[in-house]
């Protein structure tokens, strides 16, 4: 189900059934002459569309503009950089509306700069927005000392459970560390071009690799949709377990 195409009745039923609401967050970042600018966002969105084939999820519209940084290339190559603090505030507003609307099973899904699940600025911005919102919401709705109340005595027994309100919003990678180690991970090279071409062949053109000598794209000539399908399959194994 796509959030922007859904009707009120179906959305209310999804909330009641605790169907996961998934939000792909990406960037508009230079990925060489051969790979589309929106690569990171397209991968996150495309993998979630694949996930929808195997389990019920509500897919929210993607956040295209994120914390790209100018580490790879500056604005002269069309990278659009959003400051981490600005993204945090924006995501905080989006998540607050969803939380107030009754969603209690929200996942932000990121592909950009998530090597080995290390925490980079965009991921941290989303995490901070989520946890700050949840803490404020719980204080406002349950009062001060809500956590210390004896009714919360089972907190540590259900740290990973859906009943834990601090799990109502989570940030997860498209590709887990395991999936990355069993296949590969890079920027605009063999691995990223493989996974993107498996999702959408129209946004990767390997014949254009020859137009640049940039080190990080040279092995992209070895990319293939077949490799990408293997990456997607391993990613979905972990996402299906994390997004519940």
Listed by start position, the domains of the chain span: 3-176+232-242
pLDDT digits (tens, 9 = 90+) for 73-94: 999 999 999 999 999 999 999 9
Q: What is the mean pLDDT of the chain?
A: 96
**Each residue's pLDDT tens digit, 149-178:** 898 888 888 777 667 899 999 999 999 999
Using a pLDDT cut of 70, give the percent of the chain over it: 99
| φ and ψ at residue 144, rounded to 5 degrees | -60, 150
User: Residue 152's pLDDT is what?
Assistant: 83
Q: Give the model's pLDDT for residue 163.
A: 79
- Rounded CA-CA distance 184/171 in Å is 21
**What is the model's pLDDT at position 162?**
67
Q: Taking 70 as the threshold, does the pLDDT of residue 241 lie above it?
A: yes
216 has pLDDT over 70: yes
Contacts of 79 (CB under 8 A, 6+ apart): 27, 28, 29, 30, 37, 68, 70, 72, 73
Q: Could you tell me the CATH superfamily of domain 3-176+232-242?
A: Creatininase (3.40.50.10310)
Q: What is the pLDDT of residues 26-66, one digit of tens each?
A: 999 999 999 999 999 999 999 999 999 999 999 999 999 99
pLDDT, residue 153, reads 86
pLDDT of residue 3: 99
The pLDDT, as a whole number, for residue 156 is 86
- Please tell me the distance from the alpha carbon of residue 128 to that of residue 118, in angstroms, as a whole number: 15
- What is the C-alpha separation between 66 and 86, in angstroms, rounded? 9
The SS3 assignment for 48 reads: helix
In 126-158, which positions are buried (b, 16+ CB within 10 angstroms) versus exposed (e)?
bbbbbeebbeebeeeeeeeeeeeeeeeeebeee
DSSP string, 98-115: HHHTT---EEEEE-TT-G
- Asked if residue 84 lies in contact with residue 124, where contact means CB atoms within 8 angstroms, the answer is yes
CA angle 94, 20, 153 (to 5 degrees): 90
107: pLDDT strictly greater than 80: yes
């Amino acid at each position: 189900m796509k959030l922007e195409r859904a009707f009120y009745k179906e959305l209310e039923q999804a909330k009641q059934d605790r169907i996961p609401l998934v939000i792909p967050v990406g960037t508009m970042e230079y990925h060489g002459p051969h790979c589309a600018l929106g690569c990171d966002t397209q991968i996150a969105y495309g993998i979630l569309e694949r996930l929808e084939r195997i389990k019920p999820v509500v897919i929210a519209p993607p956040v295209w503009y994120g914390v790209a940084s100018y580490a790879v290339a500056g604005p002269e190559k069309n990278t659009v950089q959003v400051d981490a603090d600005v993204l945090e505030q924006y995501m905080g507003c989006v998540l607050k509306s969803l939380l107030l609307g009754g969603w209690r099973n929200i996942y932000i899904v990121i592909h950009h700069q998530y090597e080995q699940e290390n925490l980079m600025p965009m991921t941290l911005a989303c995490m901070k927005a989520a946890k700050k919102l949840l803490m404020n919401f719980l204080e406002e709705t349950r009062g001060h000392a809500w956590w210390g109340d004896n009714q919360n005595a089972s907190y540590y027994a259900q740290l990973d459970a859906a009943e834990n309100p601090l799990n109502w919003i989570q940030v997860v990678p498209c590709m887990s560390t395991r999936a990355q180690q069993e296949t590969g991970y890079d920027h605009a090279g063999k691995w990223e071009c493989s996974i993107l071409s498996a999702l959408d062949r129209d946004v990767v053109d390997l014949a254009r690799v020859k137009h640049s000598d940039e080190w990080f794209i040279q092995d992209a000539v070895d990319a293939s949709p077949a490799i990408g399908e293997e990456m997607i399959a391993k990613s979905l194994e972990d996402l299906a377990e994390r997004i519940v």
